[in-house]
Amino acid sequence: MLSIVYFAWVREMIGRDGEALPRPAPETTIADVISALAARGDGYAAALGDQQRLRAALDQHFTPLDHAIGDAQELALFPPVTGG
Amino acid sequence: MKRVLVQTEDFDVAGELATLEALGGGGVASFTGVVRGGNGLAALELEQYPAMTRLQMERIVMDAGERWPLIGMTVIHRHGYLTPGARIVFVGTASRHRTAALESCAFLIDWLKVHAPFWKKEHFADGNTQWVASRSEDDARAHGWNG
């Protein structure tokens, strides 16, 4: 399984803070995973339809969306950070 | 000394500065971020990615330690609900050289803004809420330290 966690308005629009997905092939990119989730429609489409607005972390490291999932355990999807 | 804290509670700026001063380097620089009021803002909510926040802040502190000769670094970031006037973030650096203390302090706050997994949501007195959008000038400032 691949654990997915959502933050900020991504979490709010989807209506949950995370879920587990059947493990995708290692060469699957983060963008591929996002596209598959967005295809579920409703909140998923609203939150994940425009990938330009999204950032990601694989196993707690910021990772560009065109990178492959590899053997990562956790994928986090969120808007650009606004701390500090 | 490296002190990295993620917490809901307030922090004691004078106490943090005194700890850095006591290291004996002779130069201490600091930045404190405070919730700006106005425009009907009732509270600022800070969400974080708990599994990643502390890890990422420690990476940023290590990075600063490799770039400047520092003898002390303190980084504190709060999360949860904060009202106008409340402190959000503290960065303090101590060094034998004022340039190192000042520059590393600016570097740390610039990097926190774009590399620490926090998200701000504004709660207004009229009940409306709005997620704060990231600012391209913050990206540009942080990117400037790569040069």
Cross-chain CB nearest to B119 (options A60, A62, A81): A81
Q: How confident is the model at residue B8 (pLDDT cuts 50, 70, 90)?
A: very high
User: Cα separation of A45 and A53, whole Å?
Assistant: 13
At B83-119, the pLDDT tens digits run: 999 999 999 999 999 999 999 999 999 999 999 999 9
Per-residue pLDDT at B137: 81
**B120 CA to chain A: closest CA distance, Å?**
6
Evaluate if residue B4 carries a pLDDT over 80. Answer: yes
> For chain B, what is the mean pLDDT?
95
ipTM for the predicted complex comes to 0.95
**Total domains present in chain B:** 1
Do the chains contact at A83 and B89, CB–CB below 8 Å? yes
Q: What are the start-end ranges of the H helices in chain B?
A: 13-21, 50-67, 98-115, 136-144
All residues of chain B having their beta carbon less than 8 Å from the beta carbon of residue A79 are 119, 131, 134
Per-residue pLDDT at B147: 52
Do the chains contact at A78 and B119, CB–CB below 8 Å? yes
Interface of A with B in 15-74 (CB under 8 A): 57, 60, 62, 74
CB proximity A81 to B under 8 Å: yes
Identify the CATH number of the domain defined by range A2-78: 3.10.20.30
For residue B68, the domain's CATH number is 3.90.1170.40
Residue-range definition of the domain harbouring residue B11 = 2-144
Per-residue pLDDT at B140: 82
- Looking at residues B52-80, what average pLDDT do you find? 97
Evaluate if residue B144 carries a pLDDT over 90. Answer: no
Q: How confident is the model at residue B139 (pLDDT cuts 50, 70, 90)?
A: confident
Nearest to B29 by CA among B103, B95, B92: B92
The number of beta carbons lying within 10 Å of the beta carbon of residue A73 is 12
Per-residue pLDDT at B146: 75
- Would you give the distance in Å from CA B20 to the centre of its chain? 16
Q: How confident is the model at residue B138 (pLDDT cuts 50, 70, 90)?
A: confident
**B112 CA to chain A: closest CA distance, Å?**
6
**A57 CA to chain B: closest CA distance, Å?**
9
CB proximity B91 to A under 8 Å: no
**B39 CA to chain A: closest CA distance, Å?**
19
**B55 CA to chain A: closest CA distance, Å?**
8
Bridge partners, B44 (sequence order):
B82, B122
Q: What is the DSSP string of B11-47?
A: --HHHHHHHHHTT--SEEEEEEEE----TTEEEEEEE
Give the A:B interface size as CB pairs under 8 Å.
Answer: 68
Per-residue pLDDT at B142: 82
At A33-62, the pLDDT tens digits run: 999 999 999 999 999 999 999 999 999 999
User: Cα separation of B71 and B41, whole Å?
Assistant: 39
Do the chains contact at A60 and B33, CB–CB below 8 Å? no
Helices (H) and strands (E) in chain B, counts: 4, 8
> Of all residues in chain A, what percent carry a pLDDT higher than 90?
99
Cross-chain CB nearest to B131 (options A9, A62, A83): A9
Task: Give B102's contacts (C-beta < 8 A, 6+ positions apart).
Answer: B29
Please give the structure tokens belonging to residue A83: 């701390």
Do the chains contact at A81 and B52, CB–CB below 8 Å? no
